[in-house]
A and B are shown apart, each in its own frame.
Chain A
Amino acid sequence: MIDGAALWLSLQLALTSSLLLLLIATPLAWWLSRTRHRLAPLVEATVALPLVLPPTVLGFYLLLLFSPQSFIGQAWVTLTGSQLTFSFAGLVMASVMYSLPFTVQPLQVAFSAVDRAYLEAAATLGASPWDRFVSVVLPLSKRGYLTAGVLAFAHTLGEFGVVLMIGGNIPGETRVVSIAIYEAVETLDYPSAHGLSLILLALSLLVLWALFGGRRRAEVREMMR
């Protein structure tokens, strides 16, 4: 039996997390690409840390961090009235931390490649910093955004170890497709496992294909100009 609810939940999680990630990563990556602050390398290293920790280990520490007995978990309960672990909101927060390096790094590379001369030209024409960012930096960083979005989406879609630790396998809330596949494998229900995996792979292939195709077309268009 194909667990459609789990697939749908994974898509929602991946979409919500990637949008949030792009919002959060933009100022962070911009700062990192422009600053000469001596703490910048430390911030860069901190952002990269989720790459080092195995997901289940990261999940274990998030379980401690999000617990109602910890400061963050307690604050969340006070603010929202519900618990952060075993909830969709908790999974979104975890995914954002987990996929942050995959979003920040492509954006930082894109921002660093933006020629300062364009920004200075825009400034002499009287463009405000915000206007310069929106009208100059963003169009020039389109490809960086595409890569960052794709990586964040794909990485969250396949997320497993962290969810396993802090999810609690609640249908429609935290039971994402990777958990459903894991459960099918563990209960020797290989047909369901194969079915779900195939759908997940086909879906990811389609999304990545469409995006990379779009990027290629954009590149060609730029060259023709």
Chain B
Amino acid sequence: MTGYRRLDTSMRRGSRTFSWLLTLSICLSTPLQAGDPAVVAVAANFLGTAQRLVDDFARHDGAEVRLVSGSSGQLYAQISQGAPYDVFLSADTARPQRLVDAGLAVGNAVTVYCRGLLALWLPNSAMPPTLQAIQQLSGPIAIANPALAPYGAAAQSSLTQAGLWSSLQPQLVLAQNVTAAHTMVASGNAQAGIVALTTVLASNIDASEYLTLEPPVAPAVEQGAVLLIDSVNNATAAAFFAYLRSSRAQDIISGDGYLVTSDLDGSDP
């Protein structure tokens, strides 16, 4: 009998622990403010900036936004299969446009929330970083895969414009995204790379080691956002989507090295 009683006590203790944990988890998961939280799917290259936007948004508007990051292609595939995201911040405009065309996004146009610039990064070299200087390198040169990453496509177009695309072919190594191209250069595996200016700025690279490739030397990468159709009634999602084009948000975005686009799509909300 004592055995039973002991078991009973330990079970009771277990269930008390369980309910305590349940209460704790409910407390932790309940947002501090009322209103539905919004889930924003963000292209990995913009995650750092998106986190700053979400923090600023929460400070001023008091609403909770959660971020989910991945490659634009992965996020697109998830959204078209019904992933429960409210806003999609892509690294390109083609994928959000496809969602618009498929009727999965609100409205009939993609909002360009920022334009990303490329930088030519040539570390540990006596030569100043120029497109002509990398012709003299013999080692690997990293860019993002033009087929996968908009920053790779922009890098390809800058190399094509400079007449270097075919001559550099044997040396080009393709990373799955622009951040991975940065890692290849940073780890010394590639002698030079065409990477995102924002990453170069965030890693405090010495100004003598990189050259910003501004239009028309390289196209800027337009990054597009859409509000997804199932979230049309989510007030937080709509507010965050509008906030992206506010001057407060655009200041944060340009502070990270992007060109801002408020001038492109007209008015500030």
Contacts and interface: CB of A to CB of B under 8 A. Distances in A.
Contact of B145 (A69, A73, A86, A183): A183
B175 A168 contact: yes
B189 interface: yes
B140 interface: yes
Given A64-B187, A86-B173, A187 B147 contact: yes
A66 interface: yes
B191 to A, nearest CB: 9
Interface string A71-101: 0010000000001011000000000000000
B147 A85 contact: no
B189 A67 contact: yes
Given A63-B189, A164-B176, A183 B77 contact: no
Chain A interface category by residue count: 20 to 34
Interface string B108-150: 0000000000000000000000000000000110100101100
Contacts of A63: 183-184, 187, 189
Chain B interface category by residue count: 20 to 34
Nearest to A168: B173
A68 B139 CA distance: 10
A63 B186 CA distance: 10
B205 to A, nearest CB: 16
A57 B197 CA distance: 24
A215 to B, nearest CB: 38
Interface of A: 60, 63-64, 66-70, 73, 83, 85-86, 164-166, 168-170, 182-183, 185-188
Interface of B: 71, 73-74, 76-77, 98, 139-140, 142, 145, 147-148, 173-176, 180, 183-184, 187-189
Given A164-B180, A185-B73, 14 more contacts: A60-B183, A66-B189, A73-B188, A166-B189, A168-B140, A168-B175, A169-B145, A170-B173, A182-B176, A183-B145, A186-B73, A187-B148, A188-B73, A188-B98
18 contacts: A60-B183, A63-B183, A64-B187, A66-B189, A69-B188, A73-B188, A86-B140, A86-B189, A165-B180, A166-B189, A169-B173, A169-B175, A170-B174, A183-B145, A186-B148, A186-B176, A188-B76, A188-B77
Q: Which 3 A-B pairs have the closest CB atoms?
A: A168-B173, A69-B188, A186-B73
